[in-house]
Amino acid sequence: MAGMNSTDRINVPAVTPITSLGYALLWLIRARPQSGYGLRMVFDTTPLGNYSSSPGSIYPALKNLQRAGLIDNRREDGRPVFVITGNGDVALEAWLSVPVTADDVGRRMDVLMMRFALLQDDANPARTLAFLESMHGAAMAQADNLEAFLAGEVGGSMPLQAQLAVRYGLETTKTTVRWAAEAHKALKQGEAKT
């Protein structure tokens, strides 16, 4: 047993946390069970979150989802397909429902926009509106943060161009506030028509 340490006998790879790419895959699989190859083709032909369609991205993420018990690998009509499990559905629902934070708005707008796109045709239409409301509130909070920073000790004494750079972040955040309000209105109108 010389030279053996605790990791030597562990051959079961750990389940790492599900990433945004993982949730995108989960959503696609729930919408239509398909193979890894099929999923890659989806990423190839649509601008889904800007993720790469290369195997090095997709397959490791699928392995991880499977290890986490969120998807299953079956064979239908001789073709391999991934299907979502009960746990997978629960996890996806939970992720889609997480409230938006000011930090999200400041640093992960790309992920938020992907979540918004995945909420398309959601079983519970109110959830999309709740998402936009949450985002609207978080963006306003983030705008307050940035304004407070600029008015404060540190922000106010920065060189002009550093201040202008922060001001750009503020303008972008305000754009987010406006967009969330407009998207909310657009969806509510579409809803009323039904």
Partner DNA sequence: CCAACCATGTAAGCTGTTACATGATTGA
Partner DNA sequence: TCAATCATGTAACAGCTTACATGGTTGG
The residue ranges that bind its own copies (CB under 8 A) are: 45-47, 50, 107, 109, 113-114, 116-117, 119-121, 128, 154, 158-162, 164-169, 171-172, 175-176, 178-179, 183, 186, 190
Binder of residue 36, out of its own copies, DNA, none (CB less than 5 to 8 A by kind):
DNA
DSSP codes joined into one string, 73-128? EEEETTEEEEEE-HHHHHHHHHHHHPPP-HHHHHH-HHHHHHHHHHTTT-S-HHHH
Cβ proximity to its own copies: between 11 and 45 the closer is 45
DSSP codes joined into one string, 142-163? HHHHHHHHHHSHHHHTS-HHHH
What are the CA-CA distances from residue 139 to residues 99, 134, 178 (Å)?
12, 9, 9
Binding of DNA at residue 99 (CB under 7 A)? no
Residue from 25, 29, 40, 139 touching DNA (CB under 7 A): that is 40
Binding of DNA at residue 54 (CB under 7 A)? yes
User: Which two structure tokens, joined as six digits, stand for 149?
Assistant: 């920073």
Site for DNA, rule CB under 7 A = 16-17, 19-22, 35-38, 40-41, 50-52, 54-57, 59-63, 73, 78-80
